[in-house]
Amino acid sequence: MNLPRQKLVVEDLRLGYWSRRSHSFSLACDGLSFDVAENEFVAIVGPSGCGKTTFLTALAGLTPVTSGRLELNGEQIEGPAPDRSLVFQHASLYPWRNVVANIEFGLKAQKRLDRRGRARVAELIDLVGLTGKEDTYPRELSGGMSQRVNLARALATDPDLLLLDEPFSALDAQTRELMQDELTRIWQSDGAGTGKTAVFITHDVPEAVFLADRVVVFSSGPARLVEIVDVRLPRPRGSEIKRTPQFQEIHDHILDLVMSQTQPGRRAAPHDSNAPVAG
């Protein structure tokens, strides 16, 4: 896909923590460089503890940049802002607000809950399949439904960048598959047919390949760039694509790259990400 790059610019980015206990500074990300195009869906995979969440929290403006560039729309990210929405593993819904009130929350905080805002909320409720559940409270929702509310809440403010940190990892396998289908459908249909720019962290390689335009593979910590794999699979995608040889080939290559980080002797088989894939 030939998308214009540089919605998000990551250049020689270093992120680190100062440990009070050991009186030392350690890096979680070390010299990351890549960019993300407008409307692109990028997944990030890498060994456990390598620095993925730290990277995402820096994008959210919650972790300060140690050095390097981290720019959204040409401006250095320096703190949290309404142009970015975060979705975590656990749907942190307000228990005393019903589904509608939870989804409306961000719009209300931004004083944008006017007629247009309410129409947007209604549209999202429909899009995430929660019609009829508007008055339901979080305690009455299943894990999958809660994550749908969470997703709708993140989309309601129409963020420029959607940041997702393993949003489906707490769900059972079946619900997880369903939610992957839902997310790709929502992402493909929201915003007049164009997806939002999204950065999605996952441990699950099939999930990354299914959802993403490109998969960024991080090394074991501190995270460095191992490879960026182009997922040249046609859209719209349905779950049946997971059974194609093209999907399997990309999946195996990425899995090899991740495993080569945890088992240093293991080498990843070469993969030509520019090779055409049948649509």
Ligand X SMILES: Nc1ncnc2c1ncn2[C@@H]1O[C@H](COP(=O)(O)OP(=O)(O)OP(=O)(O)O)[C@@H](O)[C@H]1O
Contacts to ligand X by CB under 6 A: 17, 19, 28, 46, 48-54, 221
Q: Output 157 or 202, the one with its CB closest to ligand X.
A: 202
Q: Output 203 or 235, the one with its CB closest to ligand X.
A: 203
Q: Output 54 or 197, the one with its CB closest to ligand X.
A: 54
Contacts of 203 (CB under 8 A, 6+ apart): 45, 48, 166, 169
From the CB of 53, what's the least distance to ligand X, in Å?
A: 3
- Residue 185 CA to residue 74 CA, distance in Å, equals 29
From the CB of 19, what's the least distance to ligand X, in Å?
A: 6
Q: What are phi and psi of 41, to 5 degrees?
A: -110, 115
From the CB of 39, what's the least distance to ligand X, in Å?
A: 25
Q: Output 67 or 131, the one with its CB closest to ligand X.
A: 67
Would you state the structure tokens that stand for residue 216, as one six-digit string? 């960024």
3-state class (DSSP) for residue 42:
strand
Question: What is the pairing mode between strands 225-230 and 214-218?
Answer: antiparallel
From the CB of 57, what's the least distance to ligand X, in Å?
A: 8
Contacts of 105 (CB under 8 A, 6+ apart): 94, 97, 153
Question: What is the pairing mode between strands 41-45 and 197-201?
Answer: parallel
Contacts of 40 (CB under 8 A, 6+ apart): 3, 7, 195, 197, 198, 213, 214
Q: Output 144 or 221, the one with its CB closest to ligand X.
A: 221
From the CB of 177, what's the least distance to ligand X, in Å?
A: 21
Give 279's DSSP letter. -
Q: Output 117 or 221, the one with its CB closest to ligand X.
A: 221
Residue type for position 141 = L
Q: Output 28 or 36, the one with its CB closest to ligand X.
A: 28
From the CB of 222, what's the least distance to ligand X, in Å?
A: 7
Is the CB of residue 74 less than 8 Å from the CB of residue 235? Answer: no
- Residue 133 CA to residue 117 CA, distance in Å, equals 19
From the CB of 142, what's the least distance to ligand X, in Å?
A: 24
From the CB of 179, what's the least distance to ligand X, in Å?
A: 19
Q: Output 48 or 263, the one with its CB closest to ligand X.
A: 48
- Residue 230 CA to residue 213 CA, distance in Å, equals 6
